[in-house]
Copies of this chain bind each other. A is one copy, B any other.
């Protein structure tokens, strides 16, 4: 007969709940208790049956987080914030990288998560509004940040429009009139690049300034290297500019490096602003003016909603917009 969790508990002299906690990797278990349970599992050759456990408790104690790219600091720091928020609920996070590839984003949703994770936080980059049907999964799912879907699941969003407008208006308030934008995705109608570009263009238009295509430089993906290349392209055209809005911080940091190499003074000659408020933005030379999208709030809110759904909350889906904050630093004001 198969060894049960109860057998393990009896052998270890603990409750079945303690065995379950050890196997789920809960913190705050005394080391000698953990040791006894692990010894009992080994001695009895116990193999937890995930399906049986799911049928009984309905829980694995694990939530999934699917993000486009962990080597982008924004997503690495978001993952860190999600892990911190999940810990408050005693949950472990398993992270999957989708590479912003449509097929892999669909696979992350299609995987039979019911057996692996209790819920999924999903930050899509390649899927668009037309893919909403794919979001109807049996596992509770909450969307994070990067793109505006409407339904059928909860969505905690970055305030891309207002945040980008605030950064652009800050540059305008400094008297800058020829504001280049780095990281556009020409031809894309939806997605973060399009949303942020449109907000930039609207802010210019409202200030009576025509957005110039010569000042909009594509870059994809949004890395330091592509930001550096975009800045080199812009400089190569010889077009005049007195400010740069980079559509994320890593682009801005790559651009800052090129400006320094060319002896172009920041912010005296060119003011530079980014978006994301990654840790690096506080330490770069000069430090980077940027928009904090409210990462900690996004993570905490998303985990709270997900846990609610896992516990049976069946209210209508919610769309929550996180509060952004503009952090003004040396790259625009010199101090």
Of all chain B residues, which has the CB nearest A83? B97
Distance, CA A81 to CA B41, complexed state (A): 34
Given A70-B79, A79-B97, A112-B23: A103 in contact with B31 (beta carbons within 8 A): yes
Q: Does A69 sit at the interface, judged by CB under 8 A?
A: yes
Determine how many copies of this chain the complex contains: 2
Indicate with 1 or 0, residue by residue over A85-110, a CB within 8 angstroms of chain B CB atoms.
00000001111110101011011101
Identify the stretch in A42-50, A207-215, A306-314 within 8 Å (CB) of chain B at 4 or more residues: A42-50
Of all chain B residues, which has the CB nearest A278? B71
Residues of B within 8 A of A116 (CB): 50, 116
Q: Does A36 sit at the interface, judged by CB under 8 A?
A: no
Q: Does A24 sit at the interface, judged by CB under 8 A?
A: yes
Residues of B within 8 A of A80 (CB): 69-71, 97
* Residues of A that sit less than 8 Å from B by CB: 22-29, 31, 34, 38, 41, 47-52, 64, 69-71, 73, 76-77, 79-80, 83, 92-97, 99, 101, 103-104, 106-108, 110-112, 114-116, 138, 223-225, 228, 253-254, 256-257, 260, 279-280, 282-285, 287
| Sample of 14 A–B contacts (CB below 8 Å) | A26-B107, A27-B103, A47-B115, A50-B115, A70-B79, A73-B73, A83-B99, A94-B96, A116-B116, A253-B280, A254-B283, A257-B284, A257-B287, A285-B285
